[in-house]
Structure formats: structure tokens, C-alpha cells
Amino acid sequence: MKRRALVTGGNRGIGFAIAEGLATMGHDVLLGVRDLAAGEIAAGKIGAQVDIVELDVANPASLEKALPRIGNVDILVNNAGVLGEGDILHDVNGFKRSMSVMVEGPFMLMHHIVPSMVSSGYGRVVNVSSGWGAFSDGVSGPGAYGVAKAALNALTVATARNLPHSVKVNAMCPGWVRTRMGGMWAPRSAQEGADTALWLATLDYTGPTGGFFRDRTAINW
């Protein structure tokens, strides 16, 4: 069945690969992008199944403006992210930016979008996280990155616990991927990094919720 999906940060990297994968499956995809020109180029590369919406998840005014354009979606992929730098306790602006992009933005999108999923009896939320945000790996991300991803993981668990099984919320780690953030020496392609997100975005009713996955396998928080 054709679904409607929103992918944030969808004009490049893992987000682009996820959007392309969903479109290839036959779903209608909306790219949430800060740069409309870059979004138009990305949408053109993918094809007719894809449209764009100007959306900066860290900017409440941008989010509010985008909501009417977004409307009801069946699949939400919270992919937008920023990489921290330096000492977490000395980079106040970096901490605020990380939390607003990777925690507050996803929270607000879920706040606005998930109720319609509940009403329709179907929804899939995929939070693109990282092993750097796992307590089992020491929350080892640079700057506030790991802290924000750990908070996104916690948001995943808390949200899934309060939703019917028809609406699934999961987090995933794409691994080390060749993107602008991951660098050219990363061992994985964007498509390989996107695979688990695509799986989670299209789970059937019996699929998991409230979990953390890499390579379609549950991993430790």
C-alpha cells in the first residue's frame, strides 16, 4: 500500500538515501529541507514521487509554517542532525543547537504528526540515532552529539510506551557512513546506512516498537 512519508534533512546523505528508498518502494515522499534550492535538486534526482517543504527543525517558526504543507503523514523519519565539536561543557551554543535539532525538533514533529497516525490506525516513526548516543558505548559522540542522541533514544522509548501497537516508534544506528558528516573514509555507503531505517519505516503490524536497531538487529541502549 502506498504511504506518505516525511524525511527531515532529506536532501543529502543518509536522509537522501532513505527518501530515495521510500520513493523506489512506491511511497510519496516529502523532503524536509532548510535550503529549498538543494531540496529541488535532490527531489529532481529521485523523481516524481518526491516533493519538498522548507523546514528547519531547530526553528519553531519554520516548523509551524511547514505544518500545513506537511499535513498528515504515515511515516516520519527524524533524520536531521548536526555534529558536535570540542568540550561539551564549554560549547554552550553547540549544546543548544544539538538538542534543538536532534531532540526538540523530533519531539515537536511527533507532537504534531503522531496524533493523526493514531487516528488513522497506522504510523511509523524512525528516529535516526547513533551508537555514539548509546550508554553501552559510553555516550562517546563529540561535543553534545552523543548526549542529544541519547536523549533521542529516551524519547523513542517513552513515546512508544504510550502509543498503540499500530503506531511504531523506533531508533536506529546507521553505522559509520560516507557522508559529509561521516567523511570519505567511512566504510559504509549511504544506501547501506539507510537500509535499517527503510525496514523500520515499512514494518508490518507484528514488527517491533520502542527498540534500537543496527543492521535490522536490536542493539543495546
Residues 33-51: pLDDT tens digits?
A: 999 999 999 999 998 889 9
| pLDDT at residue 109 tops 80 | yes
The phi-psi region of residue 20 (left if phi > 0; otherwise alpha if psi is between -120 and 50; otherwise beta) is alpha
Residue 155 near residue 106, CB atoms below 8 Å: yes
pLDDT band for position 10 (cuts 50, 70, 90): confident
The CATH-assigned architecture of domain 62-218 is 3-Layer(aba) Sandwich (3.40)
Q: Where are the domains of the chain?
A: 62-218
Mean pLDDT within 82-108: 92
pLDDT score recorded for residue 180: 63
pLDDT category of residue 108 using cuts at 50, 70 and 90: very high
- pLDDT tens for residues 161-196? 999 999 999 999 986 665 666 557 656 777 888 999
**Beta carbons of 70 and 54 less than 8 angstroms apart:** no
Predicted pLDDT of residue 44: 93
pLDDT at 80: 94
- Judged against a pLDDT cut of 90, whether residue 129 lies above it is answered with yes
145 catalytic, yes or no? Answer: yes
Mean pLDDT, the chain, as a whole number?
93
Q: Under DSSP, is residue 21 helix (H, G, I), strand (E, B) or coil? A: helix
Under the banding of pLDDT at 50, 70 and 90, the label for residue 84 is confident
- Cα 208–Cα 109–Cα 142 angle in degrees, nearest 5: 80
Q: What is the reported pLDDT for 137?
A: 85
In angstroms, rounded to a whole number, what is the distance separating the alpha carbons of residues 72 and 177?
31
**Residue that wins the pLDDT comparison between 90 and 141:** 90
Candidate from 33-47, 63-77, 125-139, 171-185 with smallest mean pLDDT: 171-185
Q: How far apart are CA 146 and CA 134, in angstroms?
A: 8
pLDDT at 76 over 80: yes
Q: Active-site residue among 145, 149, 167, 194?
A: 145
